[in-house]
A and B are shown apart, each in its own frame.
Chain A
Amino acid sequence: MPLKLSGLAARMDRLYEYDREPVASHKLQGGARFAGLFAGEHVAATEFVIGAFFVLHGVGARDLFLGLLLGNLLAVLSWTLVCAPIAVQTRLTLYWYLRRIAGPGLTFVYNIANGFLYSILAGAMISVAASAVGLAFGVKTPALTDVMPASFGWVVLTISIGLTFTVLAILGFEKLSRFAELCSPWIFAIFIAGAIGTLPRLGVHASLDNFWEVMQTKVWNGVPSPGQEQFHLRHIVFFAWFANLAFHIALSDMALFRYAKSWKYGLYSAFGMYPGHMLAWICSGIMVAGVNREMNPGLMAFQAAGLAGVAAVVVAGWTTANPTFYRVGLAIQTVTPNWPRWKVTLAVGVVTSVFSTFPIVFTRLLDYVAIYGLVLMPVGAIVLAEHWILPRLGVEPYQAEKRGLVFNWQAAVVWAGTIGICALLPLHLYFRWLPGYLFAVLSYTGLKMAFNPKIPAPAGREGGR
């Protein structure tokens, strides 16, 4: 089995070979590049659903604005103080750094887990796009309580859209992904346009004298929709913080920040959090209030911005799903080395399309985002402990690499144990990751101190301080 796992890991190494070396100094990027990237990447189809759900969960206007300000600040600080410093020091992607720490076997498991979780998220995006296309064909969007596909029309619609996205990816993934980057400013503009266009329907005067009053009584009025749990300030703070947990605390964005000139470039993530997440969530909240809180992203965008709104929902869904086919495809290619690229993309597309038929992937999107971050978060804790804590405690880091281990069992135990403990914690799902993260850091450090060799003292320093 270990031999088999090492074979799979070796195949995966070959796929990621192109970014194996640390980034050279002449390839470092300026701050404007990071600002643009963050601003573009954090306005996706999920934003149509997340902001609307805050309204359905009955959060008050004050709690929403304050929660988004605080939560997004914590996210920016997580990028700046956790992710960027490690990336700038190592100049490696998480894949290659984790390989040194956890061994190629566990890194392989991480990649598969990440790919699987990501494809469910892409399934949700296809569902969101289907809610828009369904308007033209009279296909009803599933109710918030639906778990299984409710109608044959919905299944046909989601599968058709998923397969269309898949065929487009097969025809030219790279060109499409670059074109998808171009779409971001327009999607962002449609969010703002949709919100402004909805204001007259909500009764906001052109003088804006009753703006805050309308926001408090008709949008974020503190009354949850039937069957929805009431949200307060703490829920919004934590959601805004962990919405990108996989990227900052779980360190996926090392791939980005390894190009940064300084760890302070982490602050550029504010361009993705404030004009990105915060504004987009506020806009989609206003839009859903304009359709009497009906959770149907397609209808919501159509009522708010007409055909451009519908197009924005479809394009946003597609631009999120498209890179997924590539990322998940890389993971799948490891176990199917003889498959051509088109076959891998087709397989990923079909699986993702099947996920999209289940309404639960988007009707419980907020919970899924929490679970996604929670599952990957222990990996970030393990890397943090190995990078910052172990050397200071005199424990030799990178034992997996130095001893040629395929599988760092301490990391595997901490990862699985943390998820187990998080599942049992008597806390709301949104608040579990933080104690789980502290547990992961402490338990990994403890295991390493107990079982790993200490850093040998330099010659002539024995008996020193």
Chain B
Amino acid sequence: MRILLGAAALLCLVLCILFPLMHFLGVLEEAAFKQGLAMSSLGWFLFRAGKGQPEATRN
């Protein structure tokens, strides 16, 4: 389950870059790219939070 959630979070992160790239290439309008970016950001937060938290790294 953790692997699936991690993969979904990673996909959302990739989408965060793909949406503006599609806007730059003229495939998406500005409003659509920003909406897509907001949705993929939300997805990333949900999936990543669902996957669980890493151990503390620094005191």
Write the residues of chain A forming the contact surface with B, with a CB cutoff of 8 angstroms. 18-19, 33, 37, 93, 174-175, 177-179, 181-182, 185-186, 189-190, 192-194, 196-197, 199-200, 204, 206, 255-256, 305-308, 311
A199-B24 contact in complex given A186-B16, A189-B16, C-beta closer than 8 Å: yes
A182-B59 contact in complex given A197-B23, A307-B38, A308-B41, C-beta closer than 8 Å: no
20 intermolecular pairs with C-beta atoms under 8 Å apart:
A175-B53, A178-B53, A178-B54, A182-B48, A186-B13, A189-B13, A190-B16, A192-B20, A193-B20, A196-B21, A197-B37, A199-B24, A200-B23, A206-B26, A255-B58, A306-B34, A306-B38, A307-B34, A308-B41, A311-B41
Known: A178-B54, A182-B48, A308-B34. 19 other contacts (CB 8 A): A37-B58, A174-B56, A175-B53, A177-B56, A178-B53, A178-B55, A179-B49, A179-B53, A186-B41, A189-B16, A190-B16, A193-B19, A196-B17, A200-B26, A206-B24, A206-B25, A306-B37, A308-B16, A308-B37
Nearest-neighbor residue (CB-CB) of B31 within chain A: A306
Q: How big is the B interface, by class?
A: 20 to 34
A308-B38 contact in complex given A37-B57, A181-B57, A189-B17, C-beta closer than 8 Å: yes
> How many Å lie between the Cα of A185 and that of B20 in the bound state?
17
B38 neighbours in A (Cβ, 8 Å): 306-308, 311
Write the residues of chain B forming the contact surface with A, with a CB cutoff of 8 angstroms. 13, 16-17, 19-21, 23-26, 30, 33-35, 37-38, 41, 44-45, 48-49, 53-59
User: Separation in Å of the A237 CB from the closest CB of chain B?
Assistant: 28
Q: Is the CB of B59 within 8 A of A255?
A: yes
Q: Is the CB of B13 within 8 A of A197?
A: no
Nearest-neighbor residue (CB-CB) of A179 within chain B: B53
Q: Is the CB of A305 within 8 A of B34?
A: yes
A179 neighbours in B (Cβ, 8 Å): 49, 53
Count CB-based A-B contacts (< 8 Å). Answer: 84
User: Separation in Å of the B25 CB from the closest CB of chain A?
Assistant: 5
A193-B37 contact in complex given A182-B49, A186-B44, C-beta closer than 8 Å: yes
Nearest 7 CB-CB pairs, A to B? A306-B34, A196-B20, A197-B20, A189-B16, A308-B41, A178-B53, A193-B20
> How many Å lie between the Cα of A199 and that of B30 in the bound state?
12
| Residue among B20, B33, B58 with the highest chain A CB neighbour number at 10 A | B20
> How many Å lie between the Cα of A311 and that of B44 in the bound state?
13
> How many Å lie between the Cα of A392 and that of B35 in the bound state?
63
| Residue from A37, A192, A204, A255 in contact with B17 in the complex, judged by beta carbons closer than 8 Å | A192
| Residue from A185, A194, A255 in contact with B13 in the complex, judged by beta carbons closer than 8 Å | A185
User: Separation in Å of the A335 CB from the closest CB of chain B?
Assistant: 21
| Residue among A93, A177, A186 with the highest chain B CB neighbour number at 10 A | A186
| Residue from A174, A182, A206, A305 in contact with B54 in the complex, judged by beta carbons closer than 8 Å | A182
B59 neighbours in A (Cβ, 8 Å): 18-19, 93, 255
